[in-house]
Chain A
Amino acid sequence: MADRQIFDGQPVMEIEDGNARRNFLKYAAIFGVGSTLAVAGLGDRRIASSQGGGDLDILNYALTLEFLEADFYKQGVDAGILSGREAALVGPIAEHEAAHVSQLSSTITDLGGEPVKEPKFKYPAPTFKDKAAFLETASVFEELGVNAYHGQVTLIENVDILAAAASIAGVESRHAAVLADLIGGEPFPAPVEASKSMKQVLKAAMPFIKS
């Protein structure tokens, strides 16, 4: 699952805003994902010392992934490549991801933090032309999202933020199962869902983040 390549390994996300870019990419620096990206953060003591930077950092990390999902599904739905039950099942997913973006943004703001700005996205031409490829990519995304949320479960300090994050994670699990069913995959790959650290998620996500 984790090794499935999406977007032909091409970068699709560009984080232009300086602060937002650094906020997100500092994880790459901290965890040493991608040599080019890592260099940007190496000389910055402040970044280095913010390792495990608390709930706001985790929320911004989640927000960045949700931005990508929301944009991806919006374009997929707008492309009109789905019909019937498939369209009916994917439509709400797009709405959920948009809702997650807005929930996470306002949560970060209300807690006195600064939400990352929405990155720019550019996908390889075939991404939204072919139904099977789109659903396959969606399936990879959802499994990654599920693993990403689980990877933060034990790091979130505030119990109410944990509750909010978990309430989102469960929905990603539903998406993952439905998409697996649609592509003839395995909706229940294991009795207990796996977790991925930020490092592992970013390693998987890096190919589609334009540096």
Chain B
Amino acid sequence: MDRRTFIRGTAATIPATVALQMLGTRFAFAQSSDFADDVDVLNYALTLEFLEAEFYRQGNGKNLLSGKEAQYLETVGADEDAHVAAITDTINKIGGTPVEAPGVDFADSFDSREKFLTTSHVFENLGVSAYLGAAGFIKDKAILQAAAGIFGVEARHAAVVGNLLGLKPEGGVYMGANETPLTKDEVLAAAEPFLTGAGSMAGDAAVTK
């Protein structure tokens, strides 16, 4: 795999300061101290994908949905499983150690169809913002390409689940003309209520090498 330093560390034709000034803080990536290397970013993504995959494994087993909805959410769950497998495989290939699945507690998320879909909507939008916030730290082009492809799929999930819930189009199905990045700290704070025990993201993903 191509391990050449990319994005960060290359001499950009457009000075970063100019671009930053122009684009404003809305597009700014997370702080540079958030991730040490690609393995670090991937383990962060892996923990989120573990969380999502387990969420759908449990939720899809509760028979809360039927017809097209059930079918959609089965596919969403299968996508998350595929993401877990792909990211784990990538970490192994580049010589890192994948984090273990975190302990999770989804509380009353499976009490009803509405709660299942509402929590799903939260997770998917969180995933979108997490990938966008972390993308700038990925140095390997092949990994960046894959992460972008996963990011887009999370956006698809978020939009369709928002639509299943009958949410208003803008601010429910779509989140504006641009996706919004979140820093690792922001994502961790949002995910924390669902994480339990020593395998939680804050303890593992951030320090694994």
The chain A residues found within 8 Å of chain B, CB to CB, are 54-56, 88-89, 91-93, 95-96, 99-100, 103, 106-107, 110-111, 146, 149-150, 153-154, 156-164, 166-178, 181, 187-188, 190-195
Contacts and interface: CB of A to CB of B under 8 A. Distances in A.
A194 B153 CA distance: 10
Interface stretch (B173-181, B189-197, B199-207): B173-181
Query: What are the 4 tightest A-B residue pairs by CB atom distance, in nearest-first order?
Result: A177-B156, A191-B82, A99-B177, A174-B159
Interface string B140-153: 01101110111111
Nearest to B68: A181
Nearest to A176: B156
A162 B146 CA distance: 15
B13 interface: yes
25 contacts: A89-B173, A92-B173, A93-B174, A95-B170, A95-B177, A96-B177, A149-B148, A153-B145, A157-B12, A159-B7, A159-B136, A163-B28, A166-B135, A167-B27, A167-B181, A171-B174, A173-B151, A174-B175, A177-B155, A177-B156, A187-B160, A188-B75, A188-B79, A191-B78, A192-B82
A164 B16 CA distance: 13
B173 A178 contact: yes
Given A167-B179, A177-B159, A162 B7 contact: yes
A169 B148 CA distance: 9
B13 A150 contact: no
